Amino acid sequence: ALLLTARTMTEAAGILERMLAATPHGQSFSAGLARWDGVQSAPDLLHLADQRLYASKDAGRARITGDQPSPEGARSGQAPQVTAAVPAKSSVTGA
């Protein structure tokens, strides 16, 4: 688990993308990115991140799955889920 404070979802995803790019030859990782809503418990937040981790793996691995609020989502209280594949580099391959 990685806890990033005072970061937007975009900044957190950027940090994870740089970590993935720096992963040693022949290795990769997937990540589930979740934002604390200010009320949910730590176990609930970890469960959400874990669900997104497995969604990343199911979508092809070497991915980061999270949520990114949109203006519509902010008004409705919902945030659409987005999945971004991190571009593979010669040093980042495999599963």
Is the pLDDT higher at 72 or at 28? 28
Residue 68's pLDDT band, with cuts at 50, 70 and 90, is: low
Residue 80 reports pLDDT greater than 60:
no
pLDDT tens across 9-51, in order? 999 999 999 999 999 988 999 999 999 999 999 999 999 999 9
Q: In whole angstroms, what is the distance from residue 83 CA to residue 70 CA?
A: 15
Identify the three-state secondary structure at position 40: coil
Q: Which of 30, 29, 34 is nearest to 7 (CA)?
A: 34
CB atoms under 10 Å from CB of 85, counted, come to 13
Predicted structure pTM score:
0.68
Report residue 11 as tokens: 């900044």
